[in-house]
Amino acid sequence: MKKVILTLALAFTIFSINAQVDSSKIVKEQNLEKELENLEDGAEQFSKQIQELSKQIVSLDAEKQSEATSDERKKEIEAKIDDLELQINALEKGIADIEIDIESSENSKDGKKHNDDDDNGDDDDDDGFDFDWDEFDFDFWPLNKKKKFNGHWAGFEIGLTNFVNADNQFELPANGSFLELDPVKSGSYSLNFMEFNIPLHKKYFGLVTGVGFEWKSYTLETNGYLIYNEQGNTDFQEVDYTISRNKFNVNSFTFPLLAEIQIPMGKKDKRISLSGGVIGSIRVGSSTSQQWEEGKTDNYFRQEADYNLSTFKYAYTARIGYRGFQVFANYEVMPLFEEGKGPEVYPISFGIRLLDF
């Protein structure tokens, strides 16, 4: 009986020790997770402060450039801008230090996990191939603060737009001469207001999607306006008065699917981004407008119509940038008008991404 009691006591003691060890491991892992969350929250707060300070600098610089600003005020503005730039530099250094601490914490966490695996006998094979699934993050929840990959879609884009023919040349088809554009005054503007990231690598590679709204404004150099001919196709009607401004506008919602890779540059985790993919679009509005003078009278006419424009389209896109700034080029694979109902032309656009949010 005594032997049974001693055996049970020994077993209970061993169980208690193992339970304490497991509990200690859980507490340490929870502490590491909490530490990482705090560091990432701190970096996010610093980034927001940098954005606010940058906005102040832009506002002050605009005031400084104004002719109404006195010389004394300009000196005050210069001093204020210098002070704000010092604050930004300090915040950027703080972010760099936090990134180092985050990497150190992640290494500690990974090192602990690998040690635990070794203790459990789950060693890698001896063929020299060491593949760690922890390097990949298939987290589809965009608000998860732990993910590191952050793509480039949300923001404001501005560019120039034009047409090419079926042979990808700028020469318009015979039935499309009325679409001759002023390339400098024909613009593309996009407000990409929603972004979702799908990390395939925790920092440097992933998929990007979202939603945007695009305005395309084509300035026609021809003296007339778009009409429907007897067959219901899109055609052109010349006029005997001089049109000073002739616009053709198309508005669409856009839905991208981009693959993006990011190349780190320097210790502050500043990165070059390379991305490409497709942008689908749904046309939600189109119109033409003309402005002309008759004697001393200014005349303006605007007409909303679909003009046989394609409703659903998609475009290939290629993008390269540094931090929040990007250069892009888009080529629409589907023609501007429905097949057989207008000239076969394909819109292209290229420009820059100015704001990142």
Per-residue pLDDT at 124: 44
- Give pLDDT, residue 100: 81
Q: Compute the distance between CA of residue 352 and CA of residue 357 in angstroms, rounded to an integer.
A: 15
Looking at residues 51-73, what average pLDDT do you find? 81
More confident residue, 96 or 191: 191
**In sequence order, what DSSP letters do the residues of 258-304 get, joined into one string?**
EEEEEEEETTTTEEEEEEEEEEEEEEEEEEEEEEEEETTEEEEEEEE
- Spatial CB neighbours of 49, under 8 Å, sequence gap ≥ 6: 87, 91
Average pLDDT of the residues in 54-69: 80
Percent of the chain with pLDDT over 70: 77
Residue 250 has pLDDT above 60, yes or no: yes
User: If pLDDT is split at 50, 70 and 90, which confidence band does 177 have?
Assistant: very high
Segment of 42-56, 124-138, 155-169 carrying the highest mean pLDDT: 155-169
Q: Is pLDDT at 355 greater than 70 in this prediction?
A: yes
Alpha-carbon span 229 to 15, nearest angstrom: 89
SS3 label, residue 335:
coil
pLDDT at 40 over 50: yes
What number is the average pLDDT over the span 224-240?
94
pLDDT at residue 141 in the model: 40
**Average model confidence (pLDDT) across the chain:** 82
**For the segment 140-153, what is each residue's pLDDT rounded down to a tens digit?**
444 444 457 889 99
